[in-house]
């Protein structure tokens, strides 16, 4: 009977791949499905070709990207040194959510990629429309930045 119910009556929950990708991002951690759906409504899904720049160094920065699929390289165009190679589920550019400083490196696609963009104006809209959710995201963002700061301090001590 249970098998019959499972096979015929209970619909399998379709999980949106964007929600699936977002819930793994530390900035959107500990959010309910409804809250994630609210975020998805504000994000921008974009497709990029291979070798296409997502942003260039010194360009005005507006927000962060989450990789749905594809490969992205974060690099310094001057020296050519690669800071990071990112894959599906990774995210970058989150500092731009908080400040208006220009990009510190370039981001370029190594292969055709699909990204989710979440920008400062979207964050401000979340804060206005869903203040509780906005607070959760800001708290997560502070935690991510705090971890980065701790990591940087450790590296400085190591270098000394």
Rule CB under 8 A: say whether 42 interacts with other proteins: yes
- SS3 label, residue 20: helix
Q: Please say whether the beta carbons of 126 and 133 come within 8 A.
A: yes
Q: How far apart are alpha carbons 91 and 137 in whole angstroms?
A: 15
Tokens of 109: 């696609």
CB of 119: closest distance to other proteins in angstroms?
5
Residue carrying structure tokens 């400040």: 99
Q: Which of 29, 37, 69, 117 binds other proteins (CB under 8 A)?
A: 117
Rule CB under 8 A: say whether 130 interacts with other proteins: yes
Of residues 57 and 144, the one with the C-beta less far from other proteins: 57
Rule CB under 8 A: say whether 58 interacts with other proteins: yes
The helices-and-strands tally (H runs, E runs) of the chain is: 5, 8
> What Rg do the C-alpha atoms of the chain give, in angstroms?
18
Q: Which of 119, 123, 136, 137 binds other proteins (CB under 8 A)?
A: 119
Of residues 138 and 151, the one with the C-beta less far from other proteins: 138
The binding site for other proteins (CB under 8 A) comprises 41-42, 44, 46, 48, 52-63, 102, 117, 119-121, 125, 128-132
């Amino acid at each position: 009977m249970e098998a019959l119910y499972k096979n015929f009556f209970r619909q399998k929950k379709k999980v949106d791949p964007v929600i699936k990708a977002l819930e793994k991002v530390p900035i959107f951690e500990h959010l309910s499905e409804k809250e994630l759906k609210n975020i998805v409504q504000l994000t921008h899904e974009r497709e990029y070709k291979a070798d296409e720049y997502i942003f260039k160094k010194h360009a005005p920065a507006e927000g962060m990207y989450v990789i749905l699929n594809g490969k992205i390289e974060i690099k310094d165009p001057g020296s050519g040194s690669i800071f990071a190679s990112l894959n599906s589920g990774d995210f970058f550019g989150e500092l731009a959510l908080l400040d208006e400083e220009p990009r510190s490196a370039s981001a370029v696609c190594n292969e055709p990629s699909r990204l989710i963009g979440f920008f400062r104006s979207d964050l401000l809209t979340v804060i206005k429309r869903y203040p509780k959710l906005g607070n959760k995201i800001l708290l997560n963002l502070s935690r991510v930045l705090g971890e980065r700061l701790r990591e940087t301090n450790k590296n400085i001590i190591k270098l000394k």
